Amino acid sequence: MVKICCIGAGYVGGPTMAVIALNCPSIEVAVVDISVSRISAWNGDQLPIYEPGLDEVVKQCRGKNLFFSTDVEKHVSEADIIFVSVNTPTKTQGLGAGKAADLTYWESAARMIADVSKSNKIVVEKSTVPVKTAEAIERILRHNSKGIKYQILSNPEFLAEGTAIQDLFNPDRVLIGGRETPEGLKAIQALKDVYAHWVPEDRIITTNLWSAELSKLAANAFLAQRISSVNAMSALCEATGADVSQVSHAVGKDSRIGPKFLNASVGFGGSCFQKDILNLVYVCECNGLLEVATYWKQVIKVNDYQKNRFVNRIVSSMFNTVSGKKIAILGFAFKKDTGDTRETPAIDVCKGLLSDKARLSIYDPQVTEDQIQRDLTMNKFDWDHPIHLQPASPTSVKQVTVVWDAYAATKDAHALCVLTEWDEFKTLDYRRIFDNMQKPAFVFDGRNIMNVEMLREIGFIVYSIGKPL
């Protein structure tokens, strides 16, 4: 029986391994992590992450061929294939701070593999890493090898949160990069055989190591660039009377451009787009490619501009002050169908409003008060470092209340802001909400999900992204 071990039981490691276990009953899969609380949650009824369809998959194979454990060394030493899916956050200190990927967690996993291995291993980079990381990992493993042979593969993950299970079951492609030597090709084939249990052969792409590593950064940069492009257009739409939804539709009809990922928004969030572009920028700078670095940096600058623009619009349309005014925030997660708040645009919007002394009442169906308070008191980039795993700090933002209902959030509010596109926000009783709000009652739709005509008929003053007033 082939044995797989995955180091890192996070948003990627957990769902990916569960789907491998379900599709490959002949493979034993162990997911290990240093976080005791995460592993106990994976073994309990309340999984540590909210992801549609994940519960069913885990329940079907947990205890059969899928195991979650903190006994990292045992499972690593027994495995034939080791996936490394640890966090690779942006460095907060030292050389490359604010840009470069912090590979501390990756390096410590690699050193541990070298320490405990007693047989040959295939080590798979699942985490998103800078190009050439495999070379560094190879050196760490070879210099500590005690005669054991390692093959390093790059197998970046392309799942998106909220749709992870469907993305894993039906991926656009699986990418495997490896050394172009007989041993490297054999390792690539071994990993291909795992995915071939459910992924059609023509969707499994094999490349050299550096192409695979770079393709992941490139894919995220291209995706984020589309959003910044449409968001930049949204500013021009607001200035000219064009409607960004109509522009996106017209542009996306060109089959060379395509209709997906062209929704204007308050800005993109999530744990990876910003981090991976910064990482790409840093790699470009290190290679002396300053124009290329500047080009990609602009994607992040436009995203920051979009979040600022949203806050400025709220303040300026509410008579240039939100001081002491209650503002309801509907949605805090970085997108719908996840409880993840990493780099959510809601953090910057809320901090912007708080700095103008607004009082915020926040509701998100999947995010706890503890998490929101932690996010609003944490420094940029700290969230993905070990501090993230600690309980919330005792300091909390007093101007913020977190409620478990959109009606409570909006009661007596001067304005409501939609920051996450949760479906339930489309079907609220807006007449009831309007009746319970201060007048004039403002709506700022950061996701363009509201029925603007209906809201205006009720009496709301509505601002959408990139749409005429």
CB of 388 to ligand NAD, least distance (A): 7
Smaller CB separation from ligand NAD, 28 or 167: 167
151 binds ligand NAD (CB under 6 A): no
Among 50, 83, 195, 268, binds ligand UGA (CB under 6 A): 268
Q: Which residues are catalytic?
A: 272
Among 79, 101, 227, 402, binds ligand UGA (CB under 6 A): 227
Burial 377-398 (b: 16+ CB within 10 A, else e): bbeebebbbeeeeeebeeebee
306 binds ligand UGA (CB under 6 A): no
Under a CB-based contact definition with an 8 Å cutoff, are residues 310 and 445 in contact?
Answer: no
Total residues contacting ligand UGA by CB under 6 A comes to 21
- Helix, strand, coil shares, percent, the chain, to 5: 45, 15, 40
Among 194, 272, 318, 417, binds ligand NAD (CB under 6 A): 272
Choose the contact partner of 334 out of ligand UGA, ligand NAD, none; CB within 5 to 8 A by kind.
ligand UGA
Q: What kind and span of H or E run contains 310?
A: helix 290-317
Burial 320-334 (b: 16+ CB within 10 A, else e): eebeebbbbbbbbbb
> What binding mask, one character per residue, do residues 32-51 give for ligand NAD by CB under 6 A, x or -?
-xxx--x-------------
Rounded to 5 degrees, φ, ψ at 92 are -105, -10
Smaller CB separation from ligand NAD, 7 or 314: 7
Among 8, 184, 270, 466, binds ligand UGA (CB under 6 A): 270
Smaller CB separation from ligand UGA, 273 or 296: 273
Choose the contact partner of 261 out of ligand NAD, ligand UGA, none; CB within 5 to 8 A by kind.
ligand UGA
CB of 26 to ligand NAD, least distance (A): 26
109 binds ligand NAD (CB under 6 A): yes
Among 7, 49, 159, 277, binds ligand UGA (CB under 6 A): 159
Among 220, 245, 410, 448, binds ligand UGA (CB under 6 A): 220
Q: Which residues lie across from 150 on neighbouring strands?
A: 121
Contact window for ligand UGA (CB under 6 A) among 139-147, 258-266, 277-285, 357-365: 258-266
Smaller CB separation from ligand UGA, 114 or 232: 232
Give, as one character, the DSSP assignment of residue 101.
B
DSSP string, 113-177: HHHH--S-EEEEE-S---TTHHHHHHHHHHHT-TT--EEEEE------TTSHHHHHHS-S-EEEE
Amino acid at position 62, single letter: R
Under a CB-based contact definition with an 8 Å cutoff, are residues 249 and 259 in contact?
Answer: yes
Interatomic CA distance for residues 447 and 405, integer angstroms: 19
Contact window for ligand NAD (CB under 6 A) among 4-12, 139-147, 227-235, 354-362: 4-12
79 binds ligand NAD (CB under 6 A): no
Among 8, 339, 352, 365, binds ligand NAD (CB under 6 A): 8
Interatomic CA distance for residues 461 and 469, integer angstroms: 9
Under a CB-based contact definition with an 8 Å cutoff, are residues 438 and 412 in contact?
Answer: yes
Which residues fall within 8 angstroms of residue 144, CB to CB, at 6 or more apart? Answer: 111, 114, 115
Smaller CB separation from ligand UGA, 173 or 186: 173
Residue list 331-370, contact with ligand UGA (CB under 6 A): 334-335
263 binds ligand UGA (CB under 6 A): yes
C-alpha dihedral sign at 283, 174, 17, 118? negative
Q: Using N-to-C axis directions, what is the helix angle for 54-61 and 13-23, rounded to 10°?
A: 50
262 binds ligand UGA (CB under 6 A): yes
Residue list 55-74, contact with ligand NAD (CB under 6 A): 72
Altogether, the residues listed in the chain come to a count of: 469
Q: Where on the chain is the footprint of ligand NAD (CB under 6 A)?
A: 7-13, 33-35, 38, 72, 85-88, 105, 108-109, 127-128, 157, 159, 161, 271-272
Binding site for ligand UGA (CB under 6 A): 128, 157-161, 220, 223, 227, 261-263, 265, 268-273, 334-335
